[in-house]
Amino acid sequence: MRGFLAEHLGVFDPVDIRILITAFDRVWEAVQASGVTYADGKIELARAVLAKHIIAAAKDGEFDQGRLRDGALLALRQSNLRSAPHSRR
């Protein structure tokens, strides 16, 4: 998340940055707790989708933790990065 925020220096104040980092950490914890899996190399892409969504929403004025989380989860789901379930034979 910090790497993506570095691309937006001066846009957010320190309090905003703490909110965004906390939102990202919480949404990533939710993703991990869900048990979803990603193909090799897709984990960083998934984290990027989450971070970019949170930053874009904040640039539009959204700083509510719940809405940031929910929007980021929706963006991740729509990205279709998850691995397809293995078929049982």
Q: pLDDT tens digits, residue range 54-73?
A: 999 999 999 999 999 999 99
For the chain, what percentages of helix, strand and coil (3-state, to nearest 5) are there? 65, 0, 30
Q: What's the pLDDT at 83?
A: 55
Residues of the chain with pLDDT under 50: 84-89
pLDDT of residue 80: 77
Q: How confident is the model at residue 31, as a pLDDT? A: 92
pLDDT of residue 79: 87
What is the pLDDT, as a whole number, of residue 22?
A: 95
Q: What is the pLDDT of residue 23?
A: 95
Number of C-beta neighbours around residue 47 at 10 A? 19
Q: Kindly report the pTM of this predicted structure.
A: 0.82
